[in-house]
Amino acid sequence: MLGLALRIPDGGGTTVDLLLASTGLSPIGRFLLAPRRALSGARLTTLMPYRGSAGPVLVGVLVDTDPPLPAGAADLGRALATRSVGMRLVHAKPRGRWHVAARIELAHDAAGPLDTATRADPVLAAPPGDTTYSWTRRLRAPGYRAARRGRPVASRHAAQDPDA
């Protein structure tokens, strides 16, 4: 499985974290993990919906097929240091059609690290407002709490989490 963490500045000095995993795009496939050997052409979704103004909404990323990119972190970092890859940020209702919301260019500065000590957390750094369902927070929280152990979370809500 491939994963992608997007940290999006909200303009107010805090961030929103989106964590996506390789899945399918069909109404059933968007909820099932799918193995991938390369990032090129990957389809990734949040797997769990956010609460939108018109009901549940999934977020996804569609990675361009060109340039061909590997999945391994070191090889991917080297490749992205020489050329960027385009992605489309999409959204859909759980059984609805996907709609493009934005275009993203992913690149890597070879002078910077491939990873940081700061962990992404879509529970603590969810979009502002009442955008997560309590059942998704309950399901996700134990795993993200374990992933955070010993590592800081760049989040607007970190101080509110008793287990941070």
- Structural domain boundaries enclosing 38: 3-117
pTM of this prediction?
0.81
Radius of gyration of the chain (CA): 16
**Looking at the domain assignment, is residue 137 inside a domain?**
no
The answer as to whether 24 is a domain residue is: yes
Position 164 in a domain: no
Please check whether residue 150 lies inside any domain of the structure: no
pLDDT at position 132: 87
Q: Give mean pLDDT, residues 17-32.
A: 93
What confidence tier does 137 reach under pLDDT thresholds 50, 70, 90? confident
Q: Does residue 54 lie within any of the structural domains?
A: yes
Higher pLDDT, 15 or 63: 63
- ∠92-129-125 over CA atoms, to 5°? 80
> Does a structural domain hold residue 18?
yes
Would 60 be classed as within a structural domain? yes
Backbone phi and psi for residue 4, each to the nearest 5 degrees, phi listed first: -140, 130
In a domain, 34, yes or no: yes
User: What is the pLDDT, as a whole number, of residue 150?
Assistant: 63
Contact in structure between 107 and 126 (CB atoms under 8 Å): no
What local confidence, expressed as pLDDT, does residue 24 receive? 93
Give the count of domains, the chain: 1
Look over the chain and give the mean of its residue pLDDT values, rounded to a whole number. Answer: 84
Average pLDDT over every residue of 127-153: 78
